[in-house]
Structure 1
Amino acid sequence: MLPSYRGRRNKHHTPYWSVVVYLAAAALIIVAAAGQEQELVLFYAVAVFVSFLVGLLAMTSFARNEQKTALAWCNALAATAVAFTLAVNLLRGWPVLSLVGTLLIAGGLYARWVRAGRPTGIEEVESRAEASTS
């Protein structure tokens, strides 16, 4: 799903230009937090809690579709707790930048997925990736 210039890999399958991009993003976050570890925790916590929230919402939906009502309620309750924690972190101000970054990355990945024809299974994604590198 990476652009070809960032998808070049070494013999260990590491896309080295993408590593440079992630290094620059991490450096930017460290500078934005002025190297204060408690500030950094707030930035990373937002990204982590967004991931937890999306996962719990997906599990809630899956449990509902499987007609497992108790499990759906349990996941929904956990999602509510995570959403509350996320909201408290966002009220601190600067961590909103982390949310914006997370949403921009998610939007970019979604656009690339749509452009790739919305592949459904990991097997299909792997086979397309191998075919494009051959």
Structure 2
Amino acid sequence: SGEELRCHRVVLATGSAVFGRMLQGYFKEGAAARVIISDITKEQLRHFVRYLYFGELDDEADVSKMLQMADKYDVPELVALCGKRMVASMTPGNVKDVLRALRKRGASVALDEFTEIAKRRIHASPALFDAVTDVE
């Protein structure tokens, strides 16, 4: 949308390995001191940057989108936090979406643990199991 969100380079670079590499100066982002992110809303970006600054994720943040951002920009602590929140909030209504989001990011070692926890919760809960095995 062309809007800017001003941040400190050091916060981005220390909070994200990807931003760290981008802002070193070898890439156009480093020379321009500007990173363009076009695949999220400004509100989602604010939640992400707030996490990088304070290590906190607002309750109203879209955890699935934050997981995507954390994975894309290599923020392992946020990946783990999102995985934990997603598994803790699993219901029969969202269990398939949670599993899909965790599997999509399955290459992340941090999420392996949460995928296993999700599986155990599903097997222990008849309602979750029924929701997963329900053929539409």
If the length of structure 2 is used for normalisation, what is the TM-score? 0.22
Q: Which has the larger radius of gyration?
A: 1
Q: TM-score w.r.t. structure 1 length?
A: 0.22
The structure richer in helix per residue is 1
